[in-house]
Structure 1
Amino acid sequence: MAKNLDASTGGLVAKDYTDPPPAPLVDWEELGCWSFYRALIAEFIATLLFLYVTVATVIGYKHQSDAEVFPEDVACAGVGVLGIAWAFGGMIFILVYCTAGISGGHINPAVTFGLFLARKVSLVRALFYMVAQCLGAICGVGLVKAFQKAYFMRYGGGANRLSDGYSKGTGLAAEIIGTFVLVYTVFSATDPKRNARDSHVPVLAPLPIGFAVFMVHLATIPITGTGINPARSLGSAVLYNQEKAWDDQWIFWAGPFIGAAIAAAYHQYVLRAGAAKALGSFRSNTHV
């Protein structure tokens, strides 16, 4: 069993958990495994379903709350911002629960990027996952557009964009912080150290992840419409294909990737003491 330094006694104690070994930086052997392609299919379908349900919810709400269509009911029509946030958080909960055992349930290039930086997945898997997620997002939004094209184009295609009155810096900061909350939650909910101390955590892991998405949407829908997922932002922009959606697109890639990188560094090097362990190893080697 692995050993760990006990700060209170200065001695070594047995760890009740095992950290998985780091994933290879480049693992070409994955390309020859059916499990790898099964995981890609799972990520594609999960992201497709995620975008279909959530963008359809956004379009439906905007239609039901359109004063020109329903002037008498506009004050209390539709699911509201709270309902949209629940749609995003609820779908993430469902889809992570369904796909975690197959692909890890990323459903988001920013999550994949954060896990890659933490050496949880190889570069090959990370790149293929991102492609599958983006394609799934485009197809999911495509279904919404196919079923209700007139409403889709009238109400902005569910595309993320910076709201009037907010600067690009504010939008970028909102995306960075929002994605940090999400990816930090992913790391915490799937930490083997936590799992070892409470055996029911793996079953509940999708729940805090879904709640993180829900809470971030409540905070950032008024600012950017909430991206925190580059595939989600890209899918709507591709199908809506209007200038405003593309003008702000960089925010919905730079923000999530920066936020994911910060979350990965915080969890690995601060909470899991990766920096201290590396420093301790370096010091011990200098005395050999």
Structure 2
Amino acid sequence: MPDVESQGTRDGARSNARVATSSAQPATAATMSGVEQLKTKEFWRAVGGEFVAMLLFVLLGVASTIDWASAPSDSKSIANCPTQSDRKVLISLCFGFSIATLAQCFGHISGGHINPAVTLAMVMTRKVTIIKGVFYLLAQLVGAVAGAGIVRLATPPDFRENLGVTGLGKDVSGELGLLVELLLTFQLVFTIFASCDPKRTDLGGSTALAIGLSVSIGHFAGIPYTGASMNPARSFGPSVIATNFKDHWVYWVGPFLGAIIATLLYEFIFCPSSGKPSPGRVIPKEQIGAFKDGMAPVKRKKRTERKDPPPTREVVSTV
């Protein structure tokens, strides 16, 4: 253990000793669950951010599902409304762009989960404490109900019948719907982990946009089957307002299972090693031999003389 007296004044030494002592002690149950976070403003700001983000997400997404073409024949609102074939594209892009925008806005506040399945994945990987995960879930559910309620208040009575409630498609059983929601949520959570991995060195562009596109492609593929929820809170809010819980279990079990499987696969199988460069990373030629079997790069002695021209740069093989 280093001599603390040589590192500064006595006050600094005492401070260092206290830090070393506290870090050596095992974590208590309160520390592990995050109960002490309840006393901080940052905690409640993050919980409030999840509430507002989910409210806006459900409001915007559910509003895009309103079928204005179902108006009575004498209604003026039927003019210029999207056709049935266009509604799938409209809904998919609205949900995808909404989640990308809100993730960009609230990412620095709460992490921009906006999905109980994502929160579960973050709790599993200890990126979020248990207590924060519970409060995030409650904020997301209340925000979803509030967002769906606002849509109902702003929508004329003739168009309130469905109100964005997710349901199984024609001849789609509950088991098949469960499988579809599992797969759709799997690709979403896997995209989130891969896009936000701090160990990757090849990332570029917008992480929020990548996640938004993942939500959009999930809707493109899944709307005819299950309505493409991928989000228990997104299904919960409209179901509460419309008092329609038919096959509602599918939209909890499917996304949660998909999130769990994606988390386990990425964290324990596909997660790149911290010491090995990601495929596609550009590194100097002289350092290519320093990476072996996922180990950290070997330190090499600095060259005192350089007789050759500067080394060229190569791209590490993706194979």
Q: Same fold judged by TM-score > 0.5?
A: yes
Counterpart in 1 of 2:271?
272
CA distance in 2, matches of 1:77, 1:200: 36
Is the 8 Å Cα contact of residues 123 and 130 (structure 2) preserved in structure 1? yes
CA drift of 1:228 comes to 0.6
Counterpart in 2 of 1:4?
none
Counterpart in 2 of 1:114?
121
Aligned counterpart in structure 1 of residue 38 of structure 2, from 31, 41, 44: 31
1:251-262 residue pairs with structure 2 within 5 A? 251-262=250-261
Counterpart in 1 of 2:110?
103
Extract structure 1 runs of 4+ deviating beyond 2 A.
64-79, 151-154, 198-201
CA drift of 1:76 comes to 3.6
CA distance in 2, matches of 1:105, 1:72: 37
CA distance in 1, matches of 2:252, 2:230: 8
Normalised by the size of structure 1, how large is the TM-score?
A: 0.78
Whichever structure has more helix as a proportion of its residues is: 1
Normalised by the size of structure 2, how large is the TM-score?
A: 0.71
CA distance in 1, matches of 2:158, 2:64: 12
Counterpart in 2 of 1:231?
233
Aligned to 2:65, the other structure's residue is in SS state: helix
| Unaligned residue ranges in structure 1 (runs of 5+) | 1-23, 275-288
Question: What letter is aligned with 2:254?
Answer: G
Is 1:169 aligned to residue 175 of structure 2?
yes
Are residues 152 and 117 of structure 1, via their aligned partners in 2, closer, same or farther at CA, if it must alter by over 3 Å? farther
1:77-226 residue pairs with structure 2 within 5 A? 79-154=86-161, 156-194=162-200, 197-198=201-202, 200=204, 204-226=206-228
CA drift of 1:79 comes to 4.6
- Give the length in aligned residue pairs: 242
| Unaligned residue ranges in structure 2 (runs of 5+) | 1-30, 274-319
Deviations 1:184-205 (A, max 9, x none): 01101110012xx14745xx11
For the aligned residue pairs, the C-alpha RMSD in angstroms reads 2.3
Are residues 57 and 160 of structure 1, via their aligned partners in 2, closer, same or farther at CA, if it must alter by over 3 Å? same
Is 1:44 aligned to residue 83 of structure 2?
no
Deviations 1:11-45 (A, max 9, x none): xxxxxxxxxxxxx6411111111001000111100
Is the 8 Å Cα contact of residues 103 and 208 (structure 2) preserved in structure 1? yes
Higher relative contact order (CA 8 A, sep 6+): 1
Aligned to 1:247, the other structure's residue is in SS state: coil
Question: What letter is aligned with 2:180?
Answer: A
Is the 8 Å Cα contact of residues 175 and 228 (structure 1) preserved in structure 2? yes
Deviations 1:32-85 (A, max 9, x none): 1100100011110010001111111111xx113658568897884795201110
Counterpart in 1 of 2:14?
none
Are residues 42 and 79 of structure 1, via their aligned partners in 2, closer, same or farther at CA, if it must alter by over 3 Å? farther
Is the 8 Å Cα contact of residues 50 and 140 (structure 2) preserved in structure 1? yes
Counterpart in 1 of 2:61?
54
CA drift of 1:247 comes to 2.1
Counterpart in 2 of 1:249?
248
Is the 8 Å Cα contact of residues 64 and 78 (structure 1) preserved in structure 2? no
CA distance in 2, matches of 1:235, 1:75: 25
CA distance in 1, matches of 2:146, 2:81: 31
